[in-house]
Amino acid sequence: MKRLLLAAMALFSLAASPLGAQERFITLASTTSTEQSGLFGHLLPLFKAETGIEVRVVAVGTGQALKLGERGDADALLVHDRAGEDKFVADGFGIDRRDVMYNDFVVVGPASDPAGIKGGKDAAAAFGKIAAAKAPFASRGDDSGTHRSELRLWKKAGVDIRSGGGWYRELGAGMGPTLNTAAGMNAYALADRGTWASFKNRQSLEILVEGDRALFNPYGSILVNPETHKGIKAADAKTWHLWLTGSKGQAAIASFKIGGEQLFFGDAK
């Protein structure tokens, strides 16, 4: 009897210990750009220190993140494709979509610039020149927010990439691996500024086109609908959602810098 009592006390002590408290977590489906830029390494420890909630990130393309939310395999999303986000909510998979932050995309390419796009401010026109020159272009090809933005630019430029030939390479990869490939083959690519700033293997690559309104890159936070998936950790996910779009989260986003450069700008309304 005494042994049973001691065992029960030990189990109670373990459940009440800090180790047990560390099991409080949510799953966040997000983009490779937010992870590979280093933003989550900055934000998540601040959030956990304040709330005790661990955020476990599944970093994939935005299209895949939305599918994770549809299946109920994530509690919240942080993604960057407004059309896809609005459809996700309209279809009943998500609730309370909120603006979080923004940065921009940049068109990078080799310093030799065979397509002659350097210094331009019209991203679609630059894409048209790349296609006309049949200069190598490395595409993420992964249905990410970056890939979806790239496809919109090709469409605006009037370029059918399905008949592009060998100059257009779809990689099915995240932003970091895509930039590595572009550097290795002296190719053009569309990149988010955050990942570009943290990317070390640039070789001859440099920013050639920036500043076009079409390169604006907003991010949204969405809660997965607990009425659609009963297993969602709705309360803790909402705590994250409100923190991220509140004053503390917005200040944390603004304080994330690489080489003194602010890479994301809070945009919560």
pLDDT tens for the chain, 269 residues: list them. Answer: 444 333 444 444 444 444 444 589 999 999 988 998 999 999 999 999 999 999 999 999 999 999 999 999 999 999 999 999 999 999 999 999 999 999 999 999 999 999 999 999 999 999 999 999 999 999 999 999 999 999 999 999 999 988 767 999 999 999 999 999 999 999 999 999 999 999 999 999 999 999 999 999 999 999 999 999 989 999 999 999 999 999 999 999 999 999 999 999 999 98
DSSP helix/strand/coil, 123: helix
On whether the 103-215 domain is CATH 3.40.190.10, my answer is: yes
Nearest to 69 by CA among 220, 232, 218, 219: 232
DSSP helix/strand/coil, 239: helix
Q: Do domains 2-102+218-266 and 103-215 have the same CATH topology?
A: yes
Torsion 145-265-209-215 (CA) sign: positive
Fold classified for 2-102+218-266: D-Maltodextrin-Binding Protein; domain 2 (3.40.190)
pLDDT value of position 20? 43
The whole-angstrom separation of Cα 264 and Cα 253 is 6
How many Å is the maximal CA-CA distance in the chain?
Answer: 84
Domain ranges of the chain: 2-102+218-266, 103-215
Identity at 38, one-letter amino acid code:
G
pLDDT value of position 164? 63
Nearest to 31 by CA among 69, 62, 71, 68: 62
List, for residues 62-109, the tens digit of each pLDDT value: 999 999 999 999 999 999 999 999 999 999 999 999 999 999 999 999
Cβ–Cβ < 8 Å for 27, 58: yes
| HEC-encoded secondary structure of 54-90 | EEEEEECCHHHHHHHHHHCCCCEEEECCHHHHHHHHH
